[in-house]
């Protein structure tokens, strides 16, 4: 029985018996850090990215950070990043001492605007970091063409986009590297965890060294590295989740289609999918044309979870805003600012029932009269 008045959460991380059993099995085995489970997880995940090399790490942020280190990006380099993302995207750039160049997004996909990317390229540009936001692939066909023309590396932030694709090519299989997160609220998780995907065997080897103090052979350190290893407990949980990802993605898409079909409030704009894109609906994000705070309060009152990703564009966050102010640098990002002011994400996770979906639709359509 479902409680008609129970709150419908915006996200619902899954830890079922299978995940618990896998974790316990590893704990009992005594092999808990970067052992056989991590190797198997890497092997199995590579099927999502056309057999590319996969290097597991302890978070999506570490995946981004290590990739930039592995590509030799550092002080004096510029990396093009959307400001409309989670701060981790830009943080990785700053962590290696490079400069973030913020670029605007497309209104429909919420991902990097290729024309704006091209306009932002300077002699110092080293890389472009498209973010496949909400699970919608960025315009990789155009971004890859620009990168090739200017000889730039592309680092895909696919942390929200497991198994998204554009024209049949999965995200994480376009750029020099792709990065994924397995944080509990993502479409699949490993408690905490991340993965780098790359077709470049040399880069993959460098990343394996960087994640483990620069060692392949114990105590024969080849380079300066960190410790961002994944545990075998995480990998075992991730392997279980990976087997469920396809089914969950199908359910997310069905939920999104149902919401889009039934949401009819004139002041609520439902999400679109670009031609050729496979959206995996990490988030189902609408625009509220009106008083968003009031809308969110009404949704919450109706028991419908909701959240803004992200209320403050990265360029307006203190660690970016203050140095830019000091340097007299400003960014012209009208679509980013508009999105940050208008978006709200609604529940779309696979655990939603038809009854939940109908309650979400009713609550959203009621906003039409309330705003
Ligand atoms: C979650 C996320 C990250 C960081 O992943 P963690 O595993 O939390 O470190 C990076 N970029 C984007 C777009 C994300 O959503």
Which fold would CATH assign to domain 242-370?
3.90.1150
d(CA 146, CA 148): 6
- pLDDT average, residue stretch 27-35: 93
Q: How confident is the model at residue 111 (pLDDT cuts 50, 70, 90)?
A: very high
Does 156 sit in the ligand 1 pocket, CB within 6 Å? no
Give domain limits for the chain. Answer: 17-241, 242-370
Q: Is 186 a catalytic residue?
A: yes
Can you point out the beta strands (E) in 162-312? 165-166, 169-170, 177-181, 194-198, 268-269, 277-278, 284-288
Whether 312 shows a pLDDT value over 50: the answer reads yes
- Sheet with 284-288, strands from edge to edge, namely 268-269, 284-288, 343-346
Q: Residue 65 corresponds to which tokens in the numbers above?
A: 């950070």
Regarding pTM above 0.75, the answer is yes
List b or e across 233-258, with b for residues whose CB sees 16 or more CB atoms inside 10 angstroms.
bbbbbbbbbbebbeebbebbbebbeb
Q: What is the pLDDT of residue 3?
A: 55
Does 306 sit in the ligand 1 pocket, CB within 6 Å? no
Ligand 1 atom closest to Cα of residue 193: 7
* Catalytic-labelled residue, pool 12, 186, 298, 318: 186
Does 61 sit in the ligand 1 pocket, CB within 6 Å? yes
Does 188 sit in the ligand 1 pocket, CB within 6 Å? no
Other C-beta atoms closer than 10 Å to the C-beta of 121 total 18
- For 46-139, where are the alpha helices, taking DSSP H only? 60-70, 88-95, 114-120
Does 91 sit in the ligand 1 pocket, CB within 6 Å? no
Classify the phi-psi angles of 62: left when phi > 0, otherwise alpha if psi is within -120 to 50, otherwise beta.
alpha
CA of 89 to the centre of ligand 1 (A): 7
| Tens-place pLDDT, residues 231-241 | 999 999 999 99
| Tens-place pLDDT, residues 170-182 | 999 999 999 999 9
Domains 17-241 and 242-370 share a fold: no
CA of 280 to the centre of ligand 1 (A): 16
More confident residue, 3 or 244: 244
Q: How confident is the model at residue 370 (pLDDT cuts 50, 70, 90)?
A: low
Q: How confident is the model at residue 1 (pLDDT cuts 50, 70, 90)?
A: very low
Evaluate whether 113 touches 106 at the Cβ level (below 8 Å). Answer: yes
CA of 351 to the centre of ligand 1 (A): 22
Q: Residue 164 corresponds to which tokens in the numbers above?
A: 């998204």
- pLDDT average, residue stretch 123-129: 98
d(CA 332, CA 156): 23
CATH number, span 17-241: 3.40.640.10
Q: How confident is the model at residue 88 (pLDDT cuts 50, 70, 90)?
A: very high
| Tens-place pLDDT, residues 326-369 | 999 999 999 999 999 999 999 999 999 999 999 999 999 999 87
Q: Residue 87 corresponds to which tokens in the numbers above?
A: 């701060």
d(CA 12, CA 10): 7
């Amino acid at each position: 029985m479902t409680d008609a008045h129970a709150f419908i959460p915006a996200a619902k991380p899954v830890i079922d018996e299978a995940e618990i059993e896998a974790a316990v099995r590893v704990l009992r085995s005594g092999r808990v850090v970067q052992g056989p489970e991590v190797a198997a997880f890497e092997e199995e995940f590579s099927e999502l990215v056309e057999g590319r090399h996969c290097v597991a790490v302890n978070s999506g942020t570490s995946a981004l950070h290590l990739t930039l280190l592995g590509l030799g990006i550092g002080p004096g380099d510029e990396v093009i990043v959307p400001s409309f993302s989670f701060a981790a995207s830009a943080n990785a750039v700053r962590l290696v001492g490079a400069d973030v160049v913020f670029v605007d997004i497309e209104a429909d996909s919420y991902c990097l605007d290729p024309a704006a990317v091209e306009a932002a390229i300077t002699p110092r540009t080293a890389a472009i970091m498209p973010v496949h936001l909400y699970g919608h692939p960025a315009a990789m066909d155009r971004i890859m063409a620009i990168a090739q023309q200017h000889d730039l590396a592309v680092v895909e932030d696919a942390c929200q986009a497991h198994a998204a694709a554009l024209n049949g090519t999965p995200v994480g299989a376009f750029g020099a590297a792709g990065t994924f997160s397995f944080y509990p609220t993502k479409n699949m998780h490993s408690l905490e965890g991340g993965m780098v995907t790359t077709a470049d065997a040399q880069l993959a080897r460098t990343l394996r060294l960087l994640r483990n103090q620069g060692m392949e052979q114990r105590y024969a350190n080849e380079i300066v590295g960190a410790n961002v290893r994944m545990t075998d407990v995480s990998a075992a949980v991730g392997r279980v989740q990976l087997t469920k990802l396809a089914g969950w993605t199908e359910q997310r898409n069905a939920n999104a289609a149902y919401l889009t079909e039934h949401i009819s409030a004139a002041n609520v704009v439902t999400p679109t999918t670009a031609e050729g894109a496979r959206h995996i609906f990490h988030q189902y994000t609408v625009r509220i044309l009106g008083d968003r705070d009031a809308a969110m309060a009404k949704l919450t009152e109706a028991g419908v979870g909701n959240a803004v990703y992200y209320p403050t564009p990265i360029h307006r966050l203190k660690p970016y805003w203050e140095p830019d102010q000091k340097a007299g640098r400003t960014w012209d990002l009208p679509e980013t600012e508009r999105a940050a002011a208008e978006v709200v994400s609604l529940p779309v996770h696979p655990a939603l029932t038809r009854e939940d979906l109908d309650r979400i639709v009713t609550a959203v359509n009621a906003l039409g009269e309330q705003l």
